[in-house]
Structure 1
Amino acid sequence: MTDTATDLPVRTPLSIAVDGPSGSGKSSVSKAVARSLGLAYLDTGAMYRAATLWVVREGVDFDDQSAVAAAVRAMPLVQTLDPVDPGVALAGQDVAEAIRSEDVTRVVSRVATNLDVRAELRRRQREIIDGETRPGGYSAGRGIVAEGRDITTVVAPDADVRILLTASEESRLARRSLEVRGTADAESVAAMRDQVLRRDRDDSTVTEFTVAADGVVTLDSSDLDFDQTVAAALQIVSRAAHVRPATKA
């Protein structure tokens, strides 16, 4: 575990779930929160991307949903939970860069909308989250920040802190354009529009990630910069999981 934790007085073990649409900043904000609190970090979106890459490499037909699910159940995936340097490996090979390719991005929804695939990956995600609340994991039992599209409602509805991180469509498109293309000019934003909005539209057929469920705190980052968004997220965590003074007998 890195020694970047702040003195924010929160109880541990601590589980934090962050949900939201594409381009809302889930990954970067979640990593920053995990670094600040000395927690592990789980990118569940990377898990779906890795599953997609695995299916492609195994030569499985996307239309054969049973075969796709079987391939994913057998997938030898290892994710590194370090928020400073999260890693993804398939069969011992580093695929952290490969899973972000446009080839994977174009077809990831075909795997992510397979209900049997979702059931398997949710099982793995819960196993990782539970493991980080006990001694022996990456965080030595301090806890984890897990982010994804259905973390707050399906995977970890009992997390100590649940946040829906959202932003306006304009802001999300600009951020994703900067991330992928290095610029947010009109041409780049237009090129990203179909990719971002189609992915949200496809995934919304199997999960809800645009409206906060009961007990989930909405954080709208449309008018916030990155540091302000991280600070706002940490305030939410502090309010929800602060260390309470011991009561006198």
Structure 2
Amino acid sequence: MVVIAVDGPSGSGKSSVSKAVAARLGLAYLDTGAMYRAATLWCVGRGTDLSDQAAVAHAVRVMPLEMGLDPSGPTVHLDGRDVAEAIRTTEVSTAVSAVATNLDVRAELRRRQRQVIEAEQAPEGFAAGRGIVAEGRDITTVVAPDADARVLLTASEEARLRRRSLEVHGAADDSAVEATRDQVLRRDRDDATVSQFHVAADGVVTVDSSELDFDQTVDAVLAVVGQVTA
């Protein structure tokens, strides 16, 4: 059983890299950021006032969320409905910080994240007990501080904006990057008020992918995992 925790800011590549690492090692994959997006979609769909922190926290506590852990095709279901595309809309991206900075929501989702990680230790888990890669904001320090490998995946602001622009707009020219800037930097700024993901904590290895391509970044993370699990 191996637990790999990956933190990082928006556009650092943590989701795609973590999926690739999980696939290479035959592990389960948990996208904790998708859980916050799903919570946002759930609250918006219920008409919950996102400024009412108690109401939001209650809505999230009763949220029927199921996370599929296959790195080749992770799924997100809310009340039995596939919402993998719906949680990536601009409406959700704009509103998610209001939910993600709610401390009671964070406590509830961290509890669920730990449950998923613990469940993957059992032979009946997705990866048959081999382990899991969990990625997000405070996975290395709060959710899984005892993970076998803990990585802070980062990149320069320029690189992160370019990558997210390609992902969202299919282009990385000046206008596309500017259209992405507020969403990326504001989300990081808001989340930084409740989570630490810019500087590695003690025992967390930093992988800077600014000058690395995708395969090189995956190899760099795998090298970190190999050092601590050898």
Q: TM-score range by the shorter chain?
A: over 0.9
Residue 36 of structure 1: aligned partner: 24
Q: Does structure 2 retain, via aligned residues, the 8 Å contact 1:15–1:133?
A: no
TM-score where L is the length of structure 1:
0.92
Residue 239 of structure 1: aligned partner: 227
Counterparts of 1:64 and 1:30, CA distance in 2: 34
Task: Tell me the secondary structure at the aligned position of residue 18 of structure 1.
Answer: strand
- For structure 1, the 5+ residue unaligned runs are 1-12, 243-249
Tell me how far 1:156 sits from its aligned partner.
0.4
Tell me how far 1:135 sits from its aligned partner.
1.4
Residue 164 of structure 1: aligned partner: 152
Identity %: 72
Residue 213 of structure 1: aligned partner: 201
Counterparts of 2:208 and 2:136, CA distance in 1: 16
- After TM superposition, where is structure 1 displaced by more than 6 Å over at least 4 residues in a row? none
- Say if 2:101 is the partner of 1:113: yes
Task: Tell me the secondary structure at the aligned position of residue 146 of structure 1.
Answer: strand
Say which of 175, 188, 194 aligns to 1:200: 188
Counterparts of 1:40 and 1:205, CA distance in 2: 29
- For structure 2, the 5+ residue unaligned runs are none
Residue 177 of structure 1: aligned partner: 165
Counterparts of 1:159 and 1:239, CA distance in 2: 14
Q: Deviations over 1:111-147 (max 9, x none)?
A: 0000000000000000000111221110110000000
Which of the two has higher C-alpha Rg?
Answer: 1
Moved more, 59-68 or 167-176: 59-68
TM-score where L is the length of structure 2:
0.99
- Length, aligned pairs only: 230
Say which of 122, 133, 144 aligns to 1:145: 133
Residue 22 of structure 1: aligned partner: 10
- Say if 2:113 is the partner of 1:125: yes
Q: Which residue identity does 1:222 align to in structure 2?
A: S
Q: Which residue identity does 2:149 align to in structure 1?
A: V
Q: Which residue identity does 1:177 align to in structure 2?
A: S
Residue 5 of structure 1: aligned partner: none
Counterparts of 2:193 and 2:209, CA distance in 1: 25
- Say if 2:160 is the partner of 1:188: no
